[in-house]
Amino acid sequence: MVNELLINLVNSVLGTGKRTARGNQAHYCPFCKHHKPKLEINFSENKKGHNPWHCWVCDKKGTRISSLFKQVEASPEQFEELRNLIGNENEIQKVIQNVSLKLPDEFKPIIGSKDIIARHALAYLKSRNINEDDIIKYNIGYCDKGMYANMVIIPSYDEKGKLNYFTGRSFEKSPFIKYRNPETSRDIIPFELFINWDLPLVLCEGPFDAIAIKRNAIPLLGKNIQSNLMKKIVTSTVKKIYIALDSDALKQALKFAENFINEGKEVYLVKLKGKDPSEIGFSNFTNLIQNTFPLTQYELLEAKLSVIWVKNQLLKNPTTGFFK
C-alpha cells in the first residue's frame, strides 16, 4: 500500500515527482543533476519493509528513504516527520541526532581570550600536552556557563568538515562531572577531517590522546571500534595500524589486531606502561612507536592465552591482587 503522506514528504524534500509505469515515483536526481527525473523511489514497501531508491543515470541508490534524506541533508523537522510516518527506527533517530548536532551555544574560542576562565582552560590543556597550535587546528574551545560550564570542548569533524561529535571535559580540580558528551551516535569516524588513509594509523582511546600523539591518530571515544570506523579501516589503503589502548583494554586490542591481521594489515601493539599518550607526551610516545614491532600470529596467540590465564586466576581467587 502506498503511503500518500510519505510521498508528500519526499516531494517537499526533492520536489514533486512523477508516477512511473511500475507504480513508483521518479524525481530529478540531486546527485547527478540529470535533466530528466531519473531517481526512482519505491513507495510500496518490499518484503523487508524498505523503500528502495535508485538513480538510473548515476547509479546512486539505497534501501531506505532515511538514507536518501541523510545524503541530501534534509532538515531535522523532515526527519522527525519521516520517523512519525514509517515508525520509530533506531537508524532514523541516529540520523536526526547527527543532523541537529551543533556545538554548545556557550562555546567560546580559547586562543586570544583574556577571560580568566579561558586562561584556566588553556592551562589545563597544556597540562595534557596540548599546545596553542593544536587548539587552533582542532578548534578547541570552552564554556563558562550552561550545561558545559568550566569544560573544554573538543569538536570532531567528518571528511567534509561537518561536526559529527564533540567531547566536553571539565578543567576543574575536583569536578562533580568529569566528562559530558552530546546524546548522539558514536558510530562515526572521529577526527576524520585530519586523517590520511594512505599513512600509518594510530588508534587510541580519547581525543586528548589523539591530539597529543600529533600524527595520524583516531580516538575510539572508548575501548571499542564502532562499525563505521572498522569498515573504513579494513577497506582503506592503510597498511600499518598502531593500537595504543590502556592495559585494561588488552582483550579488545587483541581482538582488533586479529581482525586487522586477517584483513592483511600490519599491526603494532603499543605498550603504554600504565600511562595515556597524553601523559607520555609526543617525544616519549614517538620512542614507543619506533621500538614497537609488527605483531605476529604466534605473538597474538600467546597474548590471547595470557589474557585467558589471567582471567582464570582472578576467577579462582578474586582477592589475589594479581595486578598489584
State how far the Cα of 249 lies from the Cα of 106, in Å rounded to an integer: 35
Domain annotation covers residue 142: yes
Q: How far apart are CA 282 and CA 213, in angstroms?
A: 5
| CA angle at 61 for the pair 55 and 67, rounded to the nearest 5° | 125
pLDDT score for 311? 59
d(CA 234, CA 232): 6
**Domain annotation covers residue 185:** no
Last residue of a domain, one of 70, 100, 130: 100
The domain boundary, picked from 79, 100, 121, lies at 100
Could you tell me which residue, 229 or 87, shows the higher pLDDT?
229
Q: Which of 180, 214, 233 is the last residue of a domain?
A: 180
Q: Which domain holds residue 163?
A: 108-180
- d(Cα 25, Cα 216) in Å, to the nearest integer? 45
Q: What is the pLDDT of residues 249-298, one digit of tens each?
A: 888 888 899 999 999 999 999 988 778 888 888 888 989 989 989 888 87
Same-domain status, 58 and 132: no
Establish if 324 belongs to a structural domain: no
Q: How distant is the alpha carbon of residue 37 from its chain centre?
A: 35
Domain assignment present for residue 42? The answer is yes
Supply the pLDDT for residue 98: 54
Instruction: Label residue 287 exposed, middle or buried (CB < 10 Å: 0-12, 13-18, 19+).
Output: exposed
pLDDT tens for 156-203 read 999 999 999 999 999 999 898 999 998 788 889 999 999 999 999 999
pTM greater than the 0.75 cutoff: no
Which of these, 206, 221, 220, 225, lies nearest to 129 by C-alpha position?
206
pLDDT in tens, 76-113: 888 888 888 776 555 555 555 555 689 999 999 999 99
pLDDT at 323: 43
Q: What is the mean pLDDT of the chain?
A: 86
CATH number (domain holding residue 56): 3.90.580
d(CA 62, CA 68): 7
Tally the domains of the chain. 3
